[in-house]
A and B are shown apart, each in its own frame.
Chain A
């Protein structure tokens, strides 16, 4: 499974570099990437448009896959995804605030999505990990649903109040990468890094947590702390992903299931890295399709990714049953 996902990712990344609205001969792509090409439009297309976009798709796809795996493991709930802890609702509100209310501050869009995504998750954690039954799964999920509803309602209100400006916000909601070079990635890479490093260290504790809180505690683990750390890492990864690519919740929900079904194991030491590879491969492939299907028009990635991923997921689900 890991080998297949790696090969799929390499193939998708290669296609992403080769294909686009403008035909660039392979020799020019190679020379541009190896620094041998002269300054000109083709070099600019390869180095400043396609390369950062491909790298962004890899990072965002991996982040959403890992975020889903962490949340489903931490909350022991197959329906867990970044939506459940309020990240999607918060990030969406932060982005709409910039796009609709302060369009002249558009440069702050990634920051707005990141800050509000993390804030929404923070509120959920505060409610979920305080009071009676602190850290109980049901409490966290219900808090997440409530906070998501709150931010979604605020987002809808903004869209109604600024209905003449909604057009420029639709693409962000549909989810998709933009050719903005390295600027967005340069803002959020530290958060991605922290999230990925936390995920690596959480794989083993999450495996223990899968045995049940009592067993995990008897093995020396701290179930509530592990759950909080996993949810926090997922919030960082999903908010950072939303800052770059908008709302792509589908990846976080489906990729871990797809990986577990294909790999035949639920061990987080397998699911987390395999989800990263598969999520990256799927997003890069979907983004490439979005750029070339109706070129030079760019389609939103979200719906395309669903078209690609759902048949594969349903086939695996049928095979597993």
Chain B
């Protein structure tokens, strides 16, 4: 075979190689805002996403147009609706654990991922990347997130005592160190009033006696309400007669955090930490 012929064969083989069908991108249903955000950053567009509960302030603009599944069904999404999108992988959460077995029966690969700590964001990003065959991109993204988190924690001057509460009601439902919001506030330099107290759900009702005794510098309330109700809710929390002698109330440092940055994990956690420091802790 002459050199010309060899060249033709080589070109032909190369064409064959490139013309071979590329490995099909997995069809992913991302039920949590964290997984939807993460896979988008890894270059995978989900075929369907779960409804974002508690606000869309951190929702990626690039996810606009992706169909949304309602998640009020006890199993998570309605199985018939989910099946119509024919996902090969479902990124779900422990919250919707009851739905995992039916999804597997439908031939879907299910991974439950919903970090409850800042440290778990990088870990979960790598795990999702591995699942999607995007290991290198996931490692790179996870490292960037971890570096950003470290940078966001720089220069914390003082650690003020913080009571972080969820929902509405006269008796505080405290978010503990092992809740997402509690860990974010701790990483932002807050010293949680509940100290090292933990509970399986990360949220417990605590005694007002402890609030009076430990006297928080700052109270951050994360209600389930609309942004329009912030001032009304702030007034309500500040008027709690049991808290009137706390430094937080006396110094007018009772804050209401709407949106879901303290409720749900996102890859952009570094920005959340910076926001908590700037808006609530003021510890730059």
Report A-chain residues with C-beta under 8 Å of the C-beta of B71. Answer: 163
| Residues 133 to 180 of chain A near chain B (Cβ within 8 Å) | 160-165, 167-168, 171-172, 176, 178-180
Q: Across the two chains, which residue of chain A brings its CB closest to B215? A: A41
Q: Is A200's CB within 8 Å of the partner chain B?
A: no
Report A-chain residues with C-beta under 8 Å of the C-beta of B229. Answer: 103-104
Q: Is A297's CB within 8 Å of the partner chain B?
A: yes
- How many pairs, one residue from A and one from B, have CB atoms within 8 Å of each other in the complex? 117
Instruction: Assess whether B223 is in contact with A103, with CB atoms less than 8 Å apart.
Output: yes
Report B-chain residues with C-beta under 8 Å of the C-beta of A183. Answer: 170, 241
Query: Closest approach, in angstroms, between the C-beta of A194 and any C-beta of chain B?
Result: 25
Query: Closest approach, in angstroms, between the C-beta of B193 and any C-beta of chain A?
Result: 9
Instruction: Assess whether A107 is in contact with B236, with CB atoms less than 8 Å apart.
Output: yes
Instruction: Assess whether A179 is in contact with B207, with CB atoms less than 8 Å apart.
Output: yes
In whole angstroms, what is the CA distance A165 to B225 when docked?
A: 9
Instruction: Assess whether B212 is in contact with A165, with CB atoms less than 8 Å apart.
Output: no
Instruction: Assess whether B205 is in contact with A160, with CB atoms less than 8 Å apart.
Output: no
Q: Is B72's CB within 8 Å of the partner chain A?
A: yes
Instruction: Assess whether B208 is in contact with A106, with CB atoms less than 8 Å apart.
Output: no
Query: Closest approach, in angstroms, between the C-beta of A246 and any C-beta of chain B?
Result: 11
Query: Closest approach, in angstroms, between the C-beta of A176 and any C-beta of chain B?
Result: 8
Instruction: Assess whether A104 is in contact with B170, with CB atoms less than 8 Å apart.
Output: no
The stretch of A44-52, A209-217, A277-285, A311-319 that contacts the partner chain: A44-52
Instruction: Assess whether A297 is in contact with B242, with CB atoms less than 8 Å apart.
Output: no
A21 touches which one: B72, B210, B215, B245 (CB < 8 A)? B210
Report A-chain residues with C-beta under 8 Å of the C-beta of B54. Answer: 164
In whole angstroms, what is the CA distance A315 to B32 when docked?
A: 50
Q: Is A208's CB within 8 Å of the partner chain B?
A: no
Query: Closest approach, in angstroms, between the C-beta of A37 and any C-beta of chain B?
Result: 14
Instruction: Assess whether B223 is in contact with A179, with CB atoms less than 8 Å apart.
Output: no
Instruction: Assess whether A164 is in contact with B53, with CB atoms less than 8 Å apart.
Output: yes
A22 touches which one: B171, B209, B223, B245 (CB < 8 A)? B209
Query: Closest approach, in angstroms, between the C-beta of A294 and any C-beta of chain B?
Result: 8
Report A-chain residues with C-beta under 8 Å of the C-beta of B213. Answer: 21-22, 41, 45
Q: Is A20's CB within 8 Å of the partner chain B?
A: yes
Q: Is B232's CB within 8 Å of the partner chain A?
A: yes
**Chain A count of residues within 8 A CB distance of the other chain:** 37
Q: Across the two chains, which residue of chain A brings its CB closest to B204? A: A297
Assess A298 versus B171: contact at CB under 8 Å? Given A20-B207, A49-B209, A107-B236. Answer: yes
In whole angstroms, what is the CA distance A161 to B168 when docked?
A: 18
Instruction: Assess whether B167 is in contact with A103, with CB atoms less than 8 Å apart.
Output: yes
Q: Across the two chains, which residue of chain B brings its CB closest to A100? A: B224
Instruction: Assess whether A181 is in contact with B242, with CB atoms less than 8 Å apart.
Output: yes
Q: For this complex, into which size category does the number of interface residues on chain B fall?
A: 35 or more
A104 touches which one: B212, B215, B232 (CB < 8 A)? B232
Query: Closest approach, in angstroms, between the C-beta of B139 and any C-beta of chain A?
Result: 32
Q: Is A227's CB within 8 Å of the partner chain B?
A: no
In whole angstroms, what is the CA distance A296 to B225 when docked?
A: 27
In whole angstroms, what is the CA distance A176 to B173 when docked?
A: 13
| Residues 265 to 321 of chain A near chain B (Cβ within 8 Å) | 291, 295-298
In whole angstroms, what is the CA distance A106 to B72 when docked?
A: 23
Q: Across the two chains, which residue of chain B brings its CB closest to A184? A: B170
A167 touches which one: B72, B203, B209 (CB < 8 A)? B203
Contact string, B199-242, partner A, CB cutoff 8 A, digits 1/0? 10001111111101101000000011110010011001000011
Q: Across the two chains, which residue of chain A brings its CB closest to B71? A: A163
Instruction: Assess whether A164 is in contact with B224, with CB atoms less than 8 Å apart.
Output: yes
Assess A291 versus B207: contact at CB under 8 Å? Given A165-B224, A178-B171, A298-B171. Answer: yes
Report B-chain residues with C-beta under 8 Å of the C-beta of A162. Answer: 224
Instruction: Assess whether A49 is in contact with B212, with CB atoms less than 8 Å apart.
Output: yes
Instruction: Assess whether A180 is in contact with B53, with CB atoms less than 8 Å apart.
Output: no
Q: Is B197's CB within 8 Å of the partner chain A?
A: yes
Query: Closest approach, in angstroms, between the C-beta of A233 and any C-beta of chain B?
Result: 28
In whole angstroms, what is the CA distance A175 to B226 when docked?
A: 27
Query: Closest approach, in angstroms, between the C-beta of B247 and any C-beta of chain A?
Result: 12
Instruction: Assess whether B207 is in contact with A168, with CB atoms less than 8 Å apart.
Output: no
Interchain Cβ contacts under 8 Å between A and B, 9 examples: A21-B209, A21-B213, A41-B213, A103-B168, A103-B225, A104-B236, A295-B210, A298-B171, A298-B206
Other 8 A-B pairs with CB < 8 A, given A180-B170, A297-B204: A103-B168, A104-B226, A104-B232, A104-B233, A164-B53, A168-B167, A171-B173, A181-B241
**A-B residue pairs, 3 tightest by C-beta:** A168-B167, A164-B53, A21-B207
